[in-house]
Structures are given as structure tokens and as C-alpha cells.
Structure 1
Amino acid sequence: MALRLEAVAFDVADATAVAAFWAGLLAREVLAEPGGALVPGEQKQVGLRFVTSDTVQVGPRRLHLHLTSSSLEHQQRTVETALRLGGRHLDVGQGPDATFVVLADPGGNELCVIEPGNTYLAGTGYLGEVTCDGSRDVGLFWRDALAWPLVLDEGEQTAVQSPLGGTKISWDSWGRERGAGSRQRFDLVTAHPATEAERLVALGATLLSDHAGRLAMADPDGNEFGLHTA
């Protein structure tokens, strides 16, 4: 594939601590990087990158992660592991009867541990979904950008998934301000950044900067993403 989603990147106060949490929770390794750390994914599971930043988002997060469960016991083990690794319970108004569990990682990023039997996330793997705030247009943009099939298109809700299966990426228009400096973004890799950048601009992206072949771009909603050589 000409363009690959390497990771969802998060700006956090302490990249080492947050990366250690997610590596422990997902049973993955941590790769140290200048200014941060990468918890790599694979063909069917999205990678997570954490970048240490002095300025992090305040207020509601515009993106969070969904973990799947094979049983109630598995769901409880996931919650217990997350709490042991430094996570905490989070109240987002879900109510006492909610079948999913809302948590926050040590950096304050939201995650939901989804109940077993959820048909929408069936077969996605442990990291079942990356959920984003975005319009239908941006969901269609990423469908074309990544060449991933659209697996949900209902009103303002869209989702894409790799042709191989695995982690879904979804968007829902929650009415929040677009392009307001979200501290989460996509990091993409390609063998031909300049060529891919031209294609993405034709699809509706904006080129923001180019520093030695590492391009900063924005999707049609104004959300920034990075593009660099594989």
C-alpha cells in the first residue's frame, strides 16, 4: 500500500509513563524516540505514539480508544490491569447501568473497555477502535486517503477499517469546534511523501509545512496529521 497509518500520536506531559501504560495494557513493546516513545502496532492493530509536550489539551478529548472483551471476566481483568498500571476511572455521564467501563490513562486520555458480545467490534482485535470527532466529509477523506473500506456510514457517523480487518477508525460530528489544536493526530508513512502529499491535497487536505521531507498536513476538518518516509 502506498500510504500506511503508522500510529495515532498523542501529545502528553510524560510520554515515557503513558507509553509504558499502553505497552503493559496491550502486551506490546516500547520504542524510545527523540522526544517521545512509540508503542508499535502491526497489520491489523494501530500503533500508538506519545510525544512529550509542555502544552496539552485542556477540556474534553476529541479522540479516544475502545478495547474489546471476550467475556465479562476478560473485561474485568482489563480494567484491573489498567488501574494497576496507573489508569483511573472516569465519569463522562455514562450512568451506573453502563455495560462498558470508562477509564483514563496516566496522561488523561480516555479509553473504554467494551462489554463482550459487541457486534460492531467483533473481529477487530483487542484495540478495537480509534474514535474521533469529525464530519462525514473527513471520514470519506480518510477512506480515500488510506484506501480502507467504509464500514459505517449513518448520518454524521462514519468508520473505516483496513481491508485486512483489525482496528476501526471512526468519526462522529459531536458539534465541537473543528481544527482547535487537537493533541491527537495520525502519523502516516510512505515511500514517496511528495507524490502522496499531492494526492492528499487533491482529496481535500492542506499542506502546512515541509521540513526535510517530514510533511505536516491537515484533513478537511482542519485536524493535523504527519507524513514522512517509511
Structure 2
Amino acid sequence: MACRISELVLECRDPELLAQFWCNVLDFVVLDRELQPDGTVGEVEIGAADGFGGRQPTIILSRNDDPATAKPRLHIDVNATDRDQDAELERLLALGARPADVGQTGDEQWHVLADPEGNAFCLLKARLPAV
């Protein structure tokens, strides 16, 4: 028996903003919100419509107002499911992603992007079937 990734947690300044962005990117929905005692959103959990424990891990966007101190060691890679890489790149840029420079040469088969809070992610070349 092995483990399975059930959730990814991303600390961020604005969970609602990133939830909207990543829901649009991944065709996810908001599954849950947790409010802090002052009424502000502390966490937003997003995922596929089948929810936690489904075929894909959920993403928890957890408020953290502390300044980021270092580049994260983990990033998300995404693949288009219904269009080619160039068309998906245009869609992601229209949603608010922006090109990011992490030292790539320009010869890579992927695009490095940043979400609205600057978290790097990659758009890979291969098209994958939708799950």
C-alpha cells in the first residue's frame, strides 16, 4: 500500500484572489472556506467537483501575511487538456498569469509563469486527457 497526495497547501496573502485564479486555470471549484475570528478568509480549499479524496488533490490556499523569505522548493506544473500549448499560454496570460524568469535558456519545451502573487508554475508542452 502507498500514500496518495490528497491536498497541496499554498500559503498566500490573498486566498480569495488565488482561489479565483487557480479555479479558472484548473477548472476547479471552491469546496470550503474557513474564516478567521475577525471575519476575514483564512483558508480557501479548491478542487475538482468530486472534492476531497477524489481523483485529483485539492489545493488549500492558506492566508499568511508574513513576507515570503525565499523561493519555494516546490512548484506546480500544468498541462493543457483541450488545446495546444500556445493556445493555453494565451488563456493563462489572459487569466492573470505572467511570464517569469527563473534562469531558463529559452530552449525549454515549457513556459515558466507566475500566478497573481508571484508563485512560479510551469506550462508543459504535452496535452493530457482531462480526468
1:40 positional shift? 1.7
Matching residue of 1:94: 104
* % same residue: 29
* Amino acid of the structure 1 residue aligned with 2:27: A
* Amino acid of the structure 2 residue aligned with 1:27: D
Matching residue of 2:68: 57
The alignment's TM-score, normalised by the length of structure 1, stands at 0.46
Answer 1 or 2: which has greater strand percent.
Answer: 1
In 2: Cα distance, 1:106 partner to 1:18 partner? 7
* Amino acid of the structure 1 residue aligned with 2:6: E
* Amino acid of the structure 1 residue aligned with 2:68: Q
Matched, 1:36 2:46: no
* Amino acid of the structure 2 residue aligned with 1:25: V
* Amino acid of the structure 2 residue aligned with 1:79: L
In 2: Cα distance, 1:56 partner to 1:31 partner? 27
Retained in 1: the 8 A contact 2:6–2:56?
no
Between Structure 1 and Structure 2, whose CA radius of gyration is higher? 1
Q: Give structure 2 stretches of 5+ with no counterpart.
A: 35-41
Where relative contact order (Cα < 8 A, 6+ residues apart) is larger, the structure is 2
Q: Give structure 1 stretches of 5+ with no counterpart.
A: 118-122, 127-165, 167-230
Matching residue of 2:79: 68
Retained in 2: the 8 A contact 1:25–1:78?
no
The alignment's TM-score, normalised by the length of structure 2, stands at 0.76
Equivalent residue of 2:59, what SS? strand
Number of residues paired by the alignment? 120
